[in-house]
Structure 1
Amino acid sequence: MSKLSRIFKHLCAAPAARTFNARALEAIGATIAACELQHSGEIMFAVEGDLPIRDIWRDVSARDRALAAFANLHVWNTAQNNGVLIYVLLAEHRIEIIADRGFDAFVSVEQWRGVCQLMEGQFQLGEHTEAVKRGIEAASELIAAHFPQQAGTVDEDELPNPPRILR
């Protein structure tokens, strides 16, 4: 895609708050909270409608933005290094998952990509909230396999559950 067509796509993109209204954000946050009861991992969802033109001009990718969000939202700052960011860039229909280093030996890039593909199918049907909820549930299954909730312990909720609209 040319730089100019990418800029046009972003200029025409709907704001993330139109796709994910307050009710949708509440449902997504509730899904995160419920899923985190199954494991000691932390899940965060962040969405952007579009990128600033300066970032497009500098060829910043959705992956680059997801990595920056992972850092800025402190998803890396968990005791067991088991935070996961699910990031969506609506203008480009891109979904990125950034997992902290605690998953490196356990979950492959292909497994995280499978979660993205599951979400992409729902997004194509226009079911944005359901896509995110299913992605959170699928990511949670991967997390629970390696960081299960320990019986008799209370896991601290280290990251906030409400989704983040970045732009």
Structure 2
Amino acid sequence: MVNIKRCLVHTFMPPWRWRWTFPKASLDAIGQAVKASETQHSGELRFAIETTLPPIRVCQGLSARQRATELFARLHVWDTEENTGVLIYLQLADREVHILADRGINKLVAQAEWDAVAQAMEACFRQGDFLRGSLEGVEGITAILARHFPANTNNPDELPNQPVIIRG
């Protein structure tokens, strides 16, 4: 069944809306947090923000979770040497956060742990504090990865640390 309200939100939300919630200083702070995080574990984080989805795809039933899965591949999060990539995906129009981990991580970390981090981020976002929610999300992911995948001497930086803004 088509969710008309959701289709309208994705149709009429301005594509530049991400700039209000994530100004350059916030993006830089998140990038630095990701960089610092990756010194504490052997995982690779990729932070992606998307304002809206293509309205036709929303009307066809594309969920934010499905879009996160598409971006996991498109951003090559799955392409790390040890299969330890993690995608943090923010869908602003749907007000959802999805955290997806590669198969090397999923062997040891249940999706429920990622969902708890995502829910904490969403709680901060509902209060309008996008930077704090993002930084706490990176901290939560860091704690999980450091517990299961501690840093080792060969710890290359395989994915960009700066958040990516997805446009269409």
Give the TM-score band, short-chain normalised: over 0.9
Unpaired stretches in structure 2, ≥5 consecutive residues: none
Shift of residue 7, structure 1, vs aligned partner: 1.5
What TM-score does the superposition give when structure 1 sets the normalisation length?
Answer: 0.94
Q: How does 1:12-51 map to 2 (within 5 A)?
A: 12-14=12-14, 15-51=17-53
Matched, 1:59 2:61: yes
Q: Is the 8 A contact 1:39 1:140 kept in 2?
A: yes
Shift of residue 80, structure 1, vs aligned partner: 0.8
Q: Is the 8 A contact 1:13 1:90 kept in 2?
A: no
Match of 1:86 in 2: 88
**Range with bigger deviation, 15-24 or 114-123:** 15-24
Match of 1:3 in 2: 3
Unpaired stretches in structure 1, ≥5 consecutive residues: none
Matched, 1:158 2:158: yes
Distance in 2, matches of 1:52 and 1:17, equals 19
Distance in 1, matches of 2:31 and 2:49, equals 13
Distance in 1, matches of 2:41 and 2:113, equals 18
The aligned amino acid for 1:63 is R
Match of 1:128 in 2: 130
Aligned length: 165
Distance in 2, matches of 1:164 and 1:113, equals 21
The aligned amino acid for 1:158 is E
Distance in 2, matches of 1:70 and 1:117, equals 19
Q: Is the 8 A contact 1:149 1:155 kept in 2?
A: yes
Q: Is the 8 A contact 2:50 2:91 kept in 1?
A: yes
CA RMSD of aligned residues (A): 1.3
What TM-score does the superposition give when structure 2 sets the normalisation length?
Answer: 0.93
Distance in 2, matches of 1:9 and 1:54, equals 12
Match of 2:97 in 1: 95
The structure 1 segments of at least 4 consecutive aligned residues displaced by more than 3 Å after TM superposition are none
Distance in 2, matches of 1:18 and 1:66, equals 22
